[in-house]
Amino acid sequence: MSSPKVLFGFHAVGVRLKTAPQSIVEIYFEPTRRDARMRQFLEKANEAGVRLIEADSMRLAKLSGGHGHQGVAARVHELKPVRSLDELLEQLEASQAELPPEQRQAALILVLDGVTDPHNLGACLRVADGAGVHAVIAPKDHAVGVNATVAKVASGAAETVPYFMVTNLARTLNELKERNIWIIGTSDVAPKTLYQADLKGAVALVLGAEGDGMRQLTAKTCDELVSIPMRGAVESLNVSVASGICLYEALRQRTSGVS
Total number of domains in the chain: 2
Verify that 161 and 209 share a domain, yes or no. Answer: yes
Residue 94 has what pLDDT? 77
Nearest to 251 by CA among 189, 190, 203, 187: 203
Structural domain span for residue 236: 85-256
Asked whether the beta carbons of 242 and 228 are under 8 A apart, the reply is yes
Verify that 72 and 89 share a domain, yes or no. Answer: no
Residue 79 has what pLDDT? 73
What are the φ and ψ backbone dihedral angles of 213, each rounded to 5 degrees?
70, -160
Verify that 20 and 106 share a domain, yes or no. Answer: no
Residue 2 has what pLDDT? 56
Verify that 122 and 34 share a domain, yes or no. Answer: no
Verify that 37 and 106 share a domain, yes or no. Answer: no
Verify that 112 and 231 share a domain, yes or no. Answer: yes
- Model confidence at 84: pLDDT above 60: yes
Q: Which residue has the higher pLDDT, 144 or 97?
A: 144
pLDDT tens track for 40-67: 999 999 999 999 999 999 999 999 888 7
Q: Is 233 exposed, middle or buried (0-12, 13-18, 19+ CB in 10 A)?
A: exposed
Average pLDDT in the 10-29 region?
Answer: 89
Verify that 92 and 211 share a domain, yes or no. Answer: yes
Verify that 70 and 89 share a domain, yes or no. Answer: no
Verify that 64 and 164 share a domain, yes or no. Answer: no
- Model confidence at 208: pLDDT above 90: yes
Mean pLDDT for all residues in the chain: 89
- Give percent of the chain above pLDDT 90: 59
Residue 91 has what pLDDT? 79
pLDDT tens track for 165-196: 999 999 999 999 999 999 999 998 899 999 99
Residue 82 has what pLDDT? 56
Verify that 102 and 54 share a domain, yes or no. Answer: no
Residue 26 has what pLDDT? 96
The span from the first CA to the last CA of the chain, in angstroms, equals 48
pLDDT tens track for 95-122: 777 767 777 789 999 999 989 999 999 9
Verify that 48 and 101 share a domain, yes or no. Answer: no
Last residue of a domain, one of 52, 76, 100: 76
Last residue of a domain, one of 49, 76, 103: 76
Last residue of a domain, one of 32, 48, 76: 76
Verify that 89 and 205 share a domain, yes or no. Answer: yes
